[in-house]
Amino acid sequence: MRKSFILLFLVLLTTRVNAQKLERVEPMFWWVGMYNPKLQLLVHGTEIAALEAEINYPGVKLAEIHKVENPNYLFLDLEISAEAKAGKFPIVFNKNGKKKLQYVYELKNKEQSSSRIQGVTSKDLIYLLMPDRFANGDKSNDVIKGMRETKLNRDSMYYRHGGDLQGLIGKLDYLKDLGITTIWMTPEIENDMPLASYHGYAATDHYKIDPRYGTLELYKTYVNKAHEKGLKVIKDVVHNHMGTGHWFYNDMPMKDWVNQWPTYTQTSYRDEPVMDPHASETDKKKMLDGWFVPSMPDFNQKNLYVQNYITQNHIWWIEYAGIDGLRLDTYPYNEPEYMRDWAKKLKAEFPTLSIFGETLVNSVAAQAFFTGGSTVRPGFDTELPGITDAVIKNAIYEALNGKSGWTDGIFRLYTTIAQDFLYKDADQNVVFLDNHDMSRFYSMVGEDLNKFKTGMSILLTMRGIPQIYYGTEILMKNFSNPDGLVRSDFPGGWEGDKTDKFTKNGRTVQENEAWNHISILANYRKGSIALQTGKLMQFVPEDGLYTYFRYTEVGKKDVMIVVNTEDKVKELDTSRFEQRLSKFTSATNVLTKEKLGSIKTISVPAKTTLVLELN
C-alpha cells in the first residue's frame, strides 16, 4: 500500500512539473534602436513561475526575473543595448537546468523614415468614425465563431453591424474628396464581450485587432494606404479600463492589477475632486479608482507592472503601424503622475507624435488644468499637448440656439475664446460639434440647415484642430437618448442598402448642400495658411454680429469671419476693424466665390457665417 502511494505521489509530482504551458509573451516582438533600452516582457502560461528564464543573445541582457502572486506569470526585464542587431533568439525556460519550454523572440529594425509618424496639427481636419457602423468591406468576418457575441443585427444599436477595416479602406477616396486629412476610429482592438462589443472601449486583448474588423496585417495595410493617399491616422487608446472578458482579467497577475473595493464602487464621474484644492481624498479616490461601469474594470495605474504594460503597448502599436497621433479616452479618470510619465516616454520615442485627451468638463479652466504647460496648475505639468474642447462646442451651441445676453448667445463664444490665455497652446485643442457619445449636431440645431451651415463654418475657421463625426456631412441626425441612435450605419456602406450616400446621386438636394458646404470649406482650408496656422483676433460682438479674423504676419490671404445668428439681415460697418482691414480693399466669399468690391459695409444674411478671403 505504501509503495503504491509513493508511486502515485511521484506520478502527480511529475505531472505538475511537466504541466507548464507557455501561452503568450507580450509584447510579441520589439525593435532595436529604440530610445528607451529597457523592455519588460509579460510571460503567461500555466505554472510558468516554476521555471527559470534564460536569454543568450548579443546586446540583450536579462536584467531581472520577477515572480508575482499568480504563478502563471513571469515578468522579464530586458536591457537592449545600442549595439544589439535585429534578429531572432530563444527565450529558454528551464527547470533544474533542463529546458522545458522556449519562445523565439524577434527584434526588428526600427523604421528610420523621419516622415513616417507625421503628427496631427491645426493644419488637419479629423474625421471620427465607428468602424462597425461605417462600411462593410468583408462579409466573411461578420460573425466569428467562438466569440462571446455571434449576432449580426443591424436593426439593433447594441449588436454588431458588420463594418470593418476593409470597408474603411474602400472609402478613403470619399474622405479625401470631402477634404478630410486625418482619420480617427474608435478602438479597433479586440472586444470579446457578450453585448455592445462594437464600440471598442472594453478591450479583451491589447495586441490583437478584433477579428470582426480584420487582422494586424490588415490594420497596418490600412495605415499605409491612408498615408499613400495623404491621410493621417489617429489611434484611440484607453488607459483607464478594460473589459471583463480580457484574458488577463480572468487570470490576473496580482490582485491589485485592477483597483479593488470591498464592494463594487463606480466612479463618481466628477472631475472636480481631481483639481479641487479643497477636495477630500475620499472623493478623489472614488473619481480616479472607481470603475467606469461594471463591465469595465479599472486599471490600478499605481502598479508599476500595469504602467509598463500599457505604455509599452502604445509604443508597440505606433512603431508597428506608423500611427500619427493618439486620442486618449477618459483622460481625467487616470492617475495624473502616471499619465505625465507616459506622455514623456512616448514623446521621447516619437517626437512628432500628436496626443490629445478626452476631457468632457464644464469650463475653460477645467480643460486647461489637464493640458501641459497651462497657467492653472503650477508645479505640475501633465505633458498633454491638447484636449477635446467641449467648452467651445457648448459655446457654439449657445451662439446658435441661445438669445444674446451679457454672457449668453453669441457672447458665450466670444468670452470662451477670450480665456485662451489659460492654455499653453490652444491651437492643439481639438474642436468639435458632436461625437459618438452625444447628440448629433444637426438634431441639436433643430434640423435647421442655415444654423447647421453657420456652425460648420465656425468649426472650420476656428483656432485648433477641427473634427467632424461620420455622417455629419450628410445631415445624419438623432439624440443620444435613446442610447445608440447617434451610432447608426452610414447609408451605402453595406451591400444591398437602399441608398448610397457616399455618392452625389444617392444624396438628397439638402444633403448635397450640406456636403458641399463642408467640402468647399475643408478643401479651401487645405491651402489657407491663415486658417491652418494663422493667429486669431476677435472683436466684441455688436448688434448681434460676431467678427473674428484668422491672419498671418505677412497679411496675405487673411480670412475674415462674420457670424450672424439672428433671424434678419444685418449691415456691418467695418470701420472698427481697421487694425485688420487697413491693407485690404476687397474680399471674396469663400463659399459662393462672390467678389465684394468694397468691404466698408458688408451685408450679412440671417443665420449665416460669412467666410471672406481678404484681397
Separation of CA 131 from chain center? 13
Q: Measured at the alpha carbon of residue 344, what is the angle toward residues 128 and 426, in degrees to the nearest 5? A: 50
Mutual orientation of helices 304-321 and 336-349 as an angle, nearest 10°?
A: 30
Q: For residues 143 and 152, is the Cβ–Cβ distance under 8 A?
A: yes
Map residue 546 onto helix, strand or coil.
Answer: strand
Query: Cα 299 vs. chain centroid, distance in angstroms?
Result: 19
Q: What is the distance between the alpha carbons of residues 32 and 319, in angstroms, rounded to a whole number?
A: 11
Cβ neighbors of 114 (< 8 A, separation 6 or more) are 352
For residues 464 and 340, give the distance between their C-alpha atoms in angstroms, rounded to a whole number: 22
| Cell (9 digits) for 123 | 493644419
Question: What's the 3-state SS for 67-135?
Answer: ECCCCCEEEEEEEECCCCCCEEEEEEEEECCEEEEEEEEEEEECCCCCCCCCCCCCCCCEEEECHHHCC
539 forms beta bridges with 547
* Long-range contact pairs involving 216-225 (C-beta distance under 8 Å, separation at least 24): 216/320, 218/165, 218/166, 219/165, 219/188, 219/321, 220/320, 220/321, 220/322, 221/169, 222/165, 222/168, 222/169, 223/321, 223/322, 223/323, 224/322, 225/169, 225/172
Cβ-in-10-Å burial (0-12, 13-18, 19+) of 496 comes to exposed
What gap in Å lies between CA 338 and CA 518, rounded to an integer?
39
Q: How far is CA 84 from the centre of its chain?
A: 34
Question: Cα–Cα distance between 606 and 569 in angstroms, integer?
Answer: 5
Residues 6+ apart with CB under 8 A from 454: 400, 563, 564, 565, 607, 608, 609
Catalytic, 381? Answer no
Which run of H or of E encompasses 531?
helix 529-533
Alpha-carbon separation of residue 309 from 34, 166, 206, 314, 423 (angstroms)? 16, 29, 10, 9, 31
Q: Using an 8 Å Cβ cutoff, are 604 and 448 in contact?
A: no
What grid cell was written down for 371? 493640458
Check 138, 210, 358, 427 and give the catalytic one: 358
Decide if 427 is catalytic.
Answer: no
Select which of 329, 335, 389, 427 is catalytic. 329
Stated as kind and residue range, the H or E segment containing 16 is helix 2-17
Torsion of CA 360, 365, 371, 374, to 10 degrees: 170
Q: Cα dihedral sign for 502, 507, 511, 514?
A: positive
**Which whole-number Å values give the CA distances from 248 to 42, 199, 257, 574, in the listed order?**
11, 20, 9, 64
Catalytic residues: 329, 358
